[in-house]
């Protein structure tokens, strides 16, 4: 289609003149200034339109996502997509593919991870809205601003909504079944008809965080003969989380040079190896990652301030005792000086040797030269 129009603003987007940001089986995303326009390949049905309208209403209550801000229709008036904010930065997928995550400092990784977990926590706690993020949480949709550690999850309209109010007043569900290999938990792989859930979101969140921190997927072993034909979903089914499990045929690959706190590794173990209902919540990830970030970011001067404050309080509290100690030390030094110097001052001093008369100066002739003797 050559162009689309914003439903409420009337803005015309001439698609053939806009650069593309990405494309897939669902459709194409175009860049239009400081906004992005997603146009679906197939026409949107009534449920999809109601879901987009609902997400627009709740967008401000759930930060961290590039939610739809306006639907768009084609020249015939059919709904075909939506406008969303433009996310600036690089996707986590691009960073891992280029091996750039290894250049991100530990503290910055922790800050980025906390931002991502905070977005998932906000979605799970959205007021009056039951949401499962599903295929939205994956490396290709996580856009990171490395300067600020801000995270934006794009393609947010791919979430599933449960029991939300349609335009005609009915309570309906909008279920999205798309899934990317490596992000579905074992229970979902065992039951492909399973409904998207928050427990599955938490598995996908842990996978994305692992990719951010270590630079590789958690179920990706070191390349060897046994890995031929092994895809990421197969590895999840077999529980090949090689950093946390031992296997005779698989070893862990080379990860980013990062020193991970033990409690962060414990969260990964619980997310990958524990029961679905025991997976760490997004809020738990936020708390642990924030603590890790703060431990890496505390400047030296910040550590010195409490010590200085304690020293000042100690000095004030013991000011009198300190003065007494100083006076005692001064007294001791004075006594030593007196004992050493005063007796010498009181002893009789020897008389100085008598001064001898100065030697006479050599005689010089005085008087007239005719009578020298009397004047010598």
Question: Which of 298, 323, 355 lies at the terminal end of a domain, its last residue?
Answer: 298
For residues 280 and 180, state if they share a domain.
yes
pLDDT band at 340 (very low <50, low <70, confident <90, very high): low
For residues 183 and 231, the answer to whether their CB atoms sit within 8 Å is: no
For residues 164 and 172, the answer to whether their CB atoms sit within 8 Å is: yes
Question: Which of 277, 298, 319 lies at the terminal end of a domain, its last residue?
Answer: 298
pLDDT at 8 over 70: yes
CATH number at residue 26: 3.30.200.20
pLDDT at 345 over 90: no
In a domain, 118, yes or no: yes
For residues 63 and 107, state if they share a domain.
no
For residues 161 and 211, state if they share a domain.
yes
pLDDT band at 337 (very low <50, low <70, confident <90, very high): very low
Helices 106-124/198-214 angle, 10° precision? 170
Q: What percent of the chain has pLDDT over 70?
A: 79
Q: What is the pLDDT of residue 320?
A: 56
Domain that holds residue 33: 1-86
Q: What's 371's DSSP letter?
A: S
- Separation in Å, CA 233 to CA 26, 86, 187, 198: 22, 31, 11, 19
pLDDT band at 45 (very low <50, low <70, confident <90, very high): very high
Question: Which of 234, 264, 298 lies at the terminal end of a domain, its last residue?
Answer: 298
Q: How far apart are CA 141 and CA 154, in angstroms?
A: 5
Q: What is the pLDDT of residue 298?
A: 61
For residues 93 and 54, state if they share a domain.
no
Q: What is the pLDDT of residue 211?
A: 98
pTM reported for the whole predicted model: 0.78
Token pair for residue 194? Answer: 């399973």
Q: What is the pLDDT of residue 226?
A: 86
For residues 278 and 253, state if they share a domain.
yes
Closest-CA residue to 238 (of 273, 208, 195, 192): 273
Q: Which residue has the higher pLDDT, 351 or 20?
A: 20
Q: How far apart are CA 184 and CA 203, in angstroms?
A: 7
- Segment (H or E) for 307: helix 300-317
| Displacement of CA 279 from its chain's centroid (Å) | 21
């Amino acid at each position: 289609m050559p162009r689309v129009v914003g439903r409420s603003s009337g803005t015309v987007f001439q698609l053939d003149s806009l650069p593309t940001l990405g494309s897939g089986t669902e459709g194409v995303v175009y860049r239009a200034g400081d906004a992005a326009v997603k146009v679906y390949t197939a026409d949107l049905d009534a449920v999809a339109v109601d879901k987009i309208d609902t997400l627009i209403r709740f967008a401000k209550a759930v930060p961290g996502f590039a939610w739809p801000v306006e639907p768009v229709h084609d020249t015939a008036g059919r709904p075909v997509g939506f406008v969303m904010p433009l996310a600036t930065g690089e996707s986590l997928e691009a960073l891992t593919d280029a091996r750039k995550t290894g250049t991100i400092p530990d503290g910055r990784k922790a800050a980025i991870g906390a931002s991502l977990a905070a977005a998932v926590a906000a979605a799970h706690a959205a007021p009056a809205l039951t949401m499962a993020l599903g295929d939205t949480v994956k490396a290709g949709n996580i856009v990171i601003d490395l300067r600020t550690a801000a995270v934006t999850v794009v393609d947010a309209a791919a979430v599933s909504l449960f029991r939300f109010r349609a335009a005609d007043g009915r309570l309906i569900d909008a279920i999205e079944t798309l899934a990317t290999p490596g992000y579905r938990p074992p229970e979902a792989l065992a039951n492909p008809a399973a409904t998207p859930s928050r427990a599955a979101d938490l598995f996908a969140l842990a996978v994305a965080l692992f990719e951010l921190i270590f630079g590789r997927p958690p179920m990706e072993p070191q390349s060897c003969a046994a890995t031929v034909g092994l895809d990421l979903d197969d590895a999840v089914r077999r529980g090949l989380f090689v950093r946390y499990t031992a296997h005779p045929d698989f070893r862990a690959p080379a990860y980013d040079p990062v020193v991970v706190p033990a409690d962060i590794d414990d969260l990964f173990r619980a997310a990958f190896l524990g029961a679905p209902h025991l997976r760490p919540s997004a809020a738990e990830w936020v708390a642990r990652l924030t603590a890790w970030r703060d431990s890496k970011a505390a400047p030296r001067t910040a550590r010195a301030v409490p010590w200085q404050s304690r020293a000042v309080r100690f000095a004030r509290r013991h000011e009198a005792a300190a003065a007494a100690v100083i006076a005692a030390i001064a007294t001791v030094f004075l006594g030593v000086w007196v004992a050493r110097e005063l007796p010498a001052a009181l002893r009789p001093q020897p008389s100085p040797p008598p001064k001898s008369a100065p030697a006479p100066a050599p005689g010089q002739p005085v008087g007239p030269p005719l009578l020298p003797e009397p004047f010598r």
